Amino acid sequence: MNLIDSILPFHSLSIVGMAKNTGKTVCLNYVLDQLRKTDKVLAITSIGIDGEKKDQVTQTEKPEVTLYEGSFFVTTEYHYRQRRLVSEIYDISEEMTSMGRLVIAKVLQTGKAIIAGPASSVRMKALIDRMKTMGVDMTIVDGALSRRSPAAPSITDGLILSTGAAIAPDIPTIVDKTRFVYKMTQLEAFETAHREELLQSDSGIYALHDEIVTRLPIASPLLFAKSKEVLFKHGTTLFISGIVTDAILEYLKSQPEIKETVLIVKDFTKIFVTPFVLNSYIQKGGILKVLQKPNLTAICVNPTSPMGAHLDSQALQAALQDVVKVPVYDVRMLER
């Protein structure tokens, strides 16, 4: 089964870059170009902003997003005015962003546009559900693995991860870093009747015991050391609504309760730890689980970087394929 055939059953799909310039937009454009040859009605939006000619951080040229006639796209009022295509507005939401309200529009003539979407996973899920009522067969969400990225790829039916030479100038390092993220996507899901309630929490630390959820009086995981007397008062299964860092795992693994400790996060995008610290936490007896496990469908690679690295694409694909159980592609090679 090829890349496009594998995603055809999905109603929603995230394409997420491990870092800038890992080929996410190239992958997105390939998927959009191939899907337009089917009878599917598509919608495209973004966790952040995509489609700019130039990366706002690195100031390097970026491939623009091409939107095809008949598809829908979601962006802010500001970016909608910058579009280079003919479109019809279907809806303007009440939700405000720093760039104005969100606009849902349909492409009447193929062209370019900058896409931007909701700023939370809850709102993104609501948008995806809304697009279904408008006759959209698949909503594609552009995303990134970043502490600043509030929406999760785990809310979509499928996930494509992009990686490449922008992460490191050599294949072994790229493979190691990508394999670690892959392992995070494979973390076991924690089953609880309070799943939706916890997913919608914006902050806080919670204890789960016998299906009872208790919010702990701890302002931040950074204050664990000062809150030891209440940390395990309601059991050793803890849910953190924000990100998990090395400091949190380092503290937990030093506690007598470590062998009974189960730490839960919303999804793998909330995990910002190093392999060494995570392995140490697990070896001590700690468990890490997620509320939402993504359906990682494929990994796409970009063997070049703006810094001048040019790696052997086939060698990179082969090295990654040895350590992951999903197909690995270089879409530039598929286009030939």
Sorted by where each starts, the structural domains of the chain and their CATH numbers stand as 3-185+294-334 (3.40.50), 195-290 (no CATH)
pLDDT at 29: 94
Angle at the Cα of 25 (from 22 to 29), degrees rounded to 5? 135
Rounded alpha-carbon distances, angstroms, from residue 71 to 35, 36, 83: 10, 9, 14
Q: Is the dihedral of CA 46, 245, 242, 259 positive or negative?
A: positive
- What distance in Å separates the CA atoms of residue 183 and residue 228, rounded to the nearest whole number? 30
pLDDT at 51: 44
3-state secondary structure the chain: CCHHHHHCCCCEEEEEECCCCCCHHHHHHHHHHHHCCCCCCEEEEECCEECCCECCCCCCECCCCEECCCCEEEEEHHHHCCCEEEEEEEEEEEEEECCEEEEEEEEEEEEECCEECCCCHHHHHHHHHHHHHCCCCEEEEEEECCCCCCCCHHHCCEEEEEEECCCCCCHHHHHHHHHHHHHHHCCCECCCCCHHHHHCCCCCEEEEECCEEEECCCCCHHHHHHHHHHHCCCCCEEEECCCEEHHHHHHHHCCHHHHHCEEEECCHHHEECCHHHHHHHHHCCCEEEECCCCCEEEEEEECECCCCCECCHHHHHHHHHCCCCCCEECHHHHCC
Report residues of the chain scoring pLDDT below 70.
48-63, 146-152, 335-336
- What distance in Å separates the CA atoms of residue 305 and residue 308, rounded to the nearest whole number? 6
Q: Over the stretch 102-127, which tens digit does the pLDDT of each residue have?
A: 999 999 999 999 998 887 778 888 99
- What distance in Å separates the CA atoms of residue 44 and residue 25, rounded to the nearest whole number? 12
pLDDT at 150: 52
To the question of pTM greater than 0.85 for the whole model, the response is yes
